[in-house]
Amino acid sequence: MPVAVLSGLTQNHLTPAPNALHLLILNLMPNRAVTERQFTRLFEAIGRPVALTFCLPATHRLRHDAAALLAAYRTFAQVRAQHFDGLIITGAPLDRMPFDAVDFWPELRELMTWRRTHVTGSVFICWGADAAGALEGTFTGERLTTKINGVYTTDGLTMPQSRYFRIPPAAVRRGRILASGPGLGVTALADDATHSLYLAGHLEYLTGTLRAEFYRDLTRDAQTRPPAHYLDTDLQPHNHWAQDAVRVYTTWLNSLTEALS
């Protein structure tokens, strides 16, 4: 089933189905076109009609292709009058920075307040989860000096991880811990009070995404270790999380439908 993308760099602009769920994706990943493809393919695999609107913080200083991005994407200011069925805030390569050093932090704080009255449910991913947890007071993440990098299974949930933070179970102030593991911390948390799902990893990743990140990191540090539980002896990646990605996001979409009925 085609996914209607209402704004974005690489996708066709389609007319959404009458019963489509309208999702706003705040895309903070460095390669935004890749992230668009990841979510488009994920929702195509689920087979539910959705309309995706990709968004950027207006206060973020864009280093590359700023004019093209601003032409293709919405900003928060441009969508704040709208209501959405769901909100997704992606990860970002910011987890070694203090929150108040992030240029769009005040705008993100405003968006998190706005979503309480304009969005039915939210998914926060990787740094987006860490940031949302701090802003909402749901938990306090722990900074790490060594990257958690690989594909890990915790409490039956398999998910790629690529992060410099951890959510200690003892640091969770509210919500239900859905999955956690030694050394990894909480990998999935649901807060029913705010209709929020926090994912420490990246279920949306395509098969080769972690490998591409590994080769990128190798150019910066020759001692970079390969992602755990992911590459075979020929350095070929294996996708063990696709079914869980469909399962988790299907459950989330169903929860939006139930909340709206």
Q: Is 127 left (phi over 0), alpha (psi -120 to 50) or beta?
A: alpha
CA dist 132 and 89 (Å) reads 9
Write the pLDDT tens digit of every residue in 115-160: 999 999 999 999 999 999 999 999 999 999 999 999 999 999 999 9
pTM of the model: 0.94
Write the pLDDT tens digit of every residue in 217-230: 999 989 899 999 99
**Candidate list 22, 60, 195, 202, residue with the active-site label:** 202
User: Domain map of the chain by residue range?
Assistant: 4-206+241-260
Write the pLDDT tens digit of every residue in 41-69: 999 999 999 999 999 998 888 776 677 77
**Residue 15: DSSP 8-state:** P
Is 238 tagged catalytic?
Answer: no
Nearest C-alpha neighbor of 194 from the set 212, 175, 213? 175
Average pLDDT over residues 16-30: 91
Write the pLDDT tens digit of every residue in 146-203: 999 999 999 999 999 999 999 999 999 999 999 999 999 999 999 998 999 999 999 9
Write the pLDDT tens digit of every residue in 202-214: 999 999 999 999 9
CA dist 173 and 156 (Å) reads 23
**Candidate list 36, 136, 204, 213, residue with the active-site label:** 204
User: What stretch of H or E contains 152?
Assistant: strand 142-154
Indicate the pairing of strand 176-181 with strand 185-191. Answer: antiparallel
**Candidate list 126, 136, 195, 213, residue with the active-site label:** 126
Fold classification of 4-206+241-260 (topology level): Rossmann fold (3.40.50)
Is 126 tagged catalytic?
Answer: yes
Asked whether the predicted pLDDT for residue 2 surpasses 70, the reply is: no
The token pair at 249 is: 């996001």
Task: Say if CB 82 and CB 75 are below 8 A apart.
Answer: no
The per-residue pLDDT for 68 is 72
Task: Say if CB 207 and CB 237 are below 8 A apart.
Answer: yes
Gyration radius (Cα) of the chain, Å:
17
Average pLDDT over residues 222-250: 95
